[in-house]
């Protein structure tokens, strides 16, 4: 039995699993394309530290209060994603400064970065991998 025949037999016997796999692949491709086309640069932890040090970048933590209290990047502003839209005026003074948004893994902060970009913030970045990637890179966090 050749591999093509085996694949066809598997798909016909397990069509739900095969359909789920195809759906997952489409979802991953869609998310990756959206991320690349939305105009929001994603910085890894080390690139983010270089940006912070060189440009006086504003750091925005969009996690929930309990997550923030467990540890955050030093000097990060804290506005949970669910409050960001109504609290945008608090960030107006940073409109012309580079801003890096982060959350736990980079998903919520991607939404935050897109919202900020849409509202005219000049240079917005998303911390790729969020605080998890930051800590995995052995970069410091604070509870202060």
What is the rounded average pLDDT of the residues 125-132? Answer: 96
- Same domain for 99 and 57: yes
106: domain CATH number is 3.40.250.10
The whole-number pLDDT of residue 18 equals 78
Structural domain for 28, as ranges: 3-36
34 has a pLDDT exceeding 70: no
Positions annotated as catalytic residues are 103
Count of structural domains, the chain: 2
The whole-number pLDDT of residue 115 equals 96
Q: What is the pLDDT of residues 58-93, one digit of tens each?
A: 999 999 999 999 999 999 999 999 999 999 999 999
111 has a pLDDT exceeding 80: yes
Q: Taking the model in full, what pTM does it have?
A: 0.76
What is the rounded average pLDDT of the residues 37-43? Answer: 78
Measured between alpha carbons, how far is 6 from 12 in angstroms, rounded to an integer?
10
- Same domain for 45 and 30: no
Q: Is 139 helix (H, G, I), strand (E, B) or coil?
A: coil
Q: If we measure between CA atoms, which residue out of 122, 121, 74, 144 comes closest to residue 102?
A: 74
Q: Bigger pLDDT: 129 or 13?
A: 129
Tell whether 144 is covered by a domain.
no
Confidence of residue 50 (pLDDT cuts 50, 70, 90): very high
Q: What are phi and psi of 30, to 5 degrees?
A: -60, -50
């Amino acid at each position: 039995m050749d591999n093509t025949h085996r694949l066809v037999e598997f798909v016909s016997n397990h069509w739900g699993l095969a359909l789920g796999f195809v759906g997952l692949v489409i979802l991953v491709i869609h998310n990756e394309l959206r991320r690349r086309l939305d105009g929001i640069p994603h910085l890894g932890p080390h690139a983010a530290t270089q940006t912070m040090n060189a440009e006086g970048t504003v750091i925005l933590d969009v996690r929930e209060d309990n997550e923030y209290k467990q540890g955050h990047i030093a000097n990060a502003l804290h506005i949970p994603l669910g409050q960001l839209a109504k609290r945008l005026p608090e960030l107006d003074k940073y409109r012309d400064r580079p801003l890096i948004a982060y959350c736990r893994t980079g998903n919520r902060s991607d939404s935050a970065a897109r919202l900020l970009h849409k509202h005219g913030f000049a240079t917005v970045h998303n911390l790729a991998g969020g605080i998890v990637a930051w800590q995995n890179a052995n970069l410091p966090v604070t509870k202060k």
